[in-house]
A and B are shown apart, each in its own frame.
Chain A
Amino acid sequence: DQQVKQNSPSLSVQEGRISILNCDYTNSMFDYFLWYKKYPAEGPTFLISISSIKDKNEDGRFTVFLNKSAKHLSLHIVPSQPGDSAVYFCAASGSGANNLFFGTGTRLTVIP
């Protein structure tokens, strides 16, 4: 039972353009959402998060949007850089819970 879904296994974009990574969730109790970036042979690195009281959070080139009614969030990277090439995981947790539910990841390739 995959409660967090990333339906695009891969995405390729040109350097300088926008990358948009999408994530859907099914559990309406989730109230905290995070994006992690993972390079090969390393653990996931925290990128950006958003709580359910907001619909947007921005940190430099990275913006996360949350649409609670659609149970959908997205990560925008502008402008994309070759160093952004990695696997991106969406994760969520519910009120009172201490564990994260992860999606299956999207591999982003930024082409120079």
Chain B
Amino acid sequence: DTGVSQDPRHKITKRGQNVTFRCDPISEHNRLYWYRQTLGQGPEFLTYFQNEAQLEKSRLLSDRFSAERPKGSFSTLEIQRTEQGDSAMYLCASNPIVGRYVPLHFGNGTRLTVT
């Protein structure tokens, strides 16, 4: 169990550019989540996958955001035409389908800075 892995750890981009982040969940975990955390706030839910199916999306996930999990393993989160308000820590989490009360295991996040 190597934990949830996220890449890159840091990303600095100019406004208007596209960025893509990758998340590798714990290998036996079917569920994968993306959260966003801004300064002084707790993590906020963005979207959730069960295997390859994207089952839920927050209204925080604007049209510029898209997430995929093509083979039910790793996931990518793409932000198009980045804005300064997109600057945040993007966290990925996973858990297995073993019942209702199962905690999420988080990665160390990707910190995005939009200049």
Contacts and interface: CB of A to CB of B under 8 A. Distances in A.
Interface of A: 4, 32, 34, 36, 41-46, 49, 51, 89, 91, 95, 98-105
Nearest to A9: B40
19 contacts: A32-B100, A32-B101, A34-B103, A43-B4, A43-B93, A43-B108, A49-B101, A51-B101, A89-B43, A98-B31, A98-B33, A99-B45, A99-B56, A99-B58, A101-B45, A102-B42, A102-B44, A104-B41, A104-B42
Interface of B: 4, 6, 31, 33, 40-45, 48, 50, 55-56, 58, 91, 93, 100-101, 103-109
Contacts of A4: 42
B42 A105 contact: yes
Contacts of B48: 98-99
Contacts of B40: 104
A43 B45 CA distance: 14
B6 to A, nearest CB: 8
A69 B40 CA distance: 29
Given A89-B43, A98-B56, 19 more contacts: A32-B100, A32-B101, A34-B103, A36-B106, A41-B108, A43-B106, A43-B108, A44-B43, A45-B106, A46-B104, A89-B42, A98-B50, A99-B56, A100-B43, A100-B45, A102-B43, A102-B44, A103-B42, A105-B42
